[in-house]
C-alpha cells in the first residue's frame, strides 16, 4: 500500500495511492491517527477507501508530507558519505563512527511536502540537499532487538535533509551538533510505502537494495544503493529505542547516501572547493527512490536574518 496526505478543494485528506490516483479515506482523520490505531485499522480504512471513495487524479491534489512526525532522528549510515565529508577537512572516518549508528534530532516542525518550495535559510550562502530514505514507526516500543524492530516499522518514504552548510560548520564548532544549519526544511514524500511492499528488494544481508538518484535542474548529481548502508533500519530502530520509547509516527532517516548524495560530499572530494556550486533560488532538486517514488522541490529566496548581538563576555 501507498498512503498519501494531500490538499484537495482546500481540505486536508489522506488516502490510498494506486497508479496515478488517490482514493480518499472517509472522514478527515490524519494518517498518523490511523497508524496509531494499528495495522488492522489502517488496512480496514484502506480497503474501505478503495471500495467506496471516488478516486482523485494525483495531478489535481497538492501532496503534503505523508504525516506530521512527533520526532525526526537523522542517522549517518553511509560510510562513503562520511568519508567524503571528512576528506574536505583533511580527515578520515572517525573510529567512533563504526561503533554505533549515530543520529541527531532535527526539527519536526520544518517538514514539507514533495513539491513545496524551499526558502534559502536566513544568512545561508552554501545551501545543500541530502538524499535519504526514512523509516516510519508504526508501533511503540523500547529496548528492542533488531528482530523485534522489524515489526515496529510501518513503512518508508523519501527524505531530503536540506542543509545550510556554512551555518552548520560554524555552529558545530560549539560541539552541540547541527541546529540552525538543519532547521529550515526537511522534505518527506511523496507518500508512505508500507514495509511489505519493499520486502522483495531485501538482500541476503537484510538491507533494502533500492536505487537512489538525485538531479539538480535535470542534471544527474548522485546515485547510490540503499543496500550500501552500514546498519539496517531494524538495527537503527533498535539503537533509537535503547533506554527510551519510540512511538508511532517517529521518523528515522537513513542518513545521506554516498556517491554524490549531497554537494558537501563532492566538495570534500574536490578539496573543499564549492564545485558543483551551492544551491541558489531557481534550482530544482529531484530525488527518486526505487519502489517508493520521487520528490521535487524548487529553491526560492529566503528572508534576511534578524540581527542579534554577540555574547556578552563575563570574564
Q: What is the pLDDT of residues 164-201, one digit of tens each?
A: 999 999 999 998 888 999 999 999 999 999 999 999 99
Query: How many Cα atoms are found within 13 Å in the side-chain-facing hemisphere of 98?
Result: 6
**What's the CATH code, domain 72-300?**
3.90.850.10
User: pLDDT tens digits, residue range 18-33?
Assistant: 999 999 999 767 999 9
CA-nearest of 208, 233, 230 to 148 is 233
User: Residue 210 is placed in which grid cell?
Assistant: 533500492
**pLDDT, block means (10 residues), the chain with 315 residues:** 96 96 88 94 94 96 98 98 92 96 97 98 98 98 98 98 96 90 97 98 97 98 98 98 98 98 95 88 98 98 96 92
User: Residue 15 is placed in which grid cell?
Assistant: 488516502
User: pLDDT tens digits, residue range 249-263?
Assistant: 999 999 999 999 999
DSSP code at position 302: -
CB 205 within 8 A of CB 234: no
DSSP code at position 40: H
**Domain residues of the chain, as ranges?**
2-64, 72-300
- The pLDDT of residue 275: 86
- The pLDDT of residue 95: 97
Buried residues in 171-191 as b, exposed as e (16+ CB within 10 A)? beeeeeebbbbbbbbbbbbbb
Query: How many Cα atoms are found within 13 Å in the side-chain-facing hemisphere of 40?
Result: 0
- The pLDDT of residue 287: 99
CB 57 within 8 A of CB 20: yes
C-alpha 211/C-alpha 224 separation (Å) is: 6
Q: Any idea what the Cα angle at residue 269 is, between residues 121 and 209, rounded to 5°?
A: 85
H-run or E-run covering 284: strand 284-289
Map grid coordinates 514533495 to a residue: 114
The partner residues of 219 in beta bridges, in order of sequence, read: 216
User: Residue 257 is placed in which grid cell?
Assistant: 547516501
Cis? peptide before 136, omega within 30° of 0: no
- The pLDDT of residue 4: 98
- The pLDDT of residue 176: 87
- The pLDDT of residue 231: 98
- The pLDDT of residue 152: 98
User: Residue 243 is placed in which grid cell?
Assistant: 533506554
DSSP code at position 179: S
CB 226 within 8 A of CB 208: yes
Amino acid at each position: 500500500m501507498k498512503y498519501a496526505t494531500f490538499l484537495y478543494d482546500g481540505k486536508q485528506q489522506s488516502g490510498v495511492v494506486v497508479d496515478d490516483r488517490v482514493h480518499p479515506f472517509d472522514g478527515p482523520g490524519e494518517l498518523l491517527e490511523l497508524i496509531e490505531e494499528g495495522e488492522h485499522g489502517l488496512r480496514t480504512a484502506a480497503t474501505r477507501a478503495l471500495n467506496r471513495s471516488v478516486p482523485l487524479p494525483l495531478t489535481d491534489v497538492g501532496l503534503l508530507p505523508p504525516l506530521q512526525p512527533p520526532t525526526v532522528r537523522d542517522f549517518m549510515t553511509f560510510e562513503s558519505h562520511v568519508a567524503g565529508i571528512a576528506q574536505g577537512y583533511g580527515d578520515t572516518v572517525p573510529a567512533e563512527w563504526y561503533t554505533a549508528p549515530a543520529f541527531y534530532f532535527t526539527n519536526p516542525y520544518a517538514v514539507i511536502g514533495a513539491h513545496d518550495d524551499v526558502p534559502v535559510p536566513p544568512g545561508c550562502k552554501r545551501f545543500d540537499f541530502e538524499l535519504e530514505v526514512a523509516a516510519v514507526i508504526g508501533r511503540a516500543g523500547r529496548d528492542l532487538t533488531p528482530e523485534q524492530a522489524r515489526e515496529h516499522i510501518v513503512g518508508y518514504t523519501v527524505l531530503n535533509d536540506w542543509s545550510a552548510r556554512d551555518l552548520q560548520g560554524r555552529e558545530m564548532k560549539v560541539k552541540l551538533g547541527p541546529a540552525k544549519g538543519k532547521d529550515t526544511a526537511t522534505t518527506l514524500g511523496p507518500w508512505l510505502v508500507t514495509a511489505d511492499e519493499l520486502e522483495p528488494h531485501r538482500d541476503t544481508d537484510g538491507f533494502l537494495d533500492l536505487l537512489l538518484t538525485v538531479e539538480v535542474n535535470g542534471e544527474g548529481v548522485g546515485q547510490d544503493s540503499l543496500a550500501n548502508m552500514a546498519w539496517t533500519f531494524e538495527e537503527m530502530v533498535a539503537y533509537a529505542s535503547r533506554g527510551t520509547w519510540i512511538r508511532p509516527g517517529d521518523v528515522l532517516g537513513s542518513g545521506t547516501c554516498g556517491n554524490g548524495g549531497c554537494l558537501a560530499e563532492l566538495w570534500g572530494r574536490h578539496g573543499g572547493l564549492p564545485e558543483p556550486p551551492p544551491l541558489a533560488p531557481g534550482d530544482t532538486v529531484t530525488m527518486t527512490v526505487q519502489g517508493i517514488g520521487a520528490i521535487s522541490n524548487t529553491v526560492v529566496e529566503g528572508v534576511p536574518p534578524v540581527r542579534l548581538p554577540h555574547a556578552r563576555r563575563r570574564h
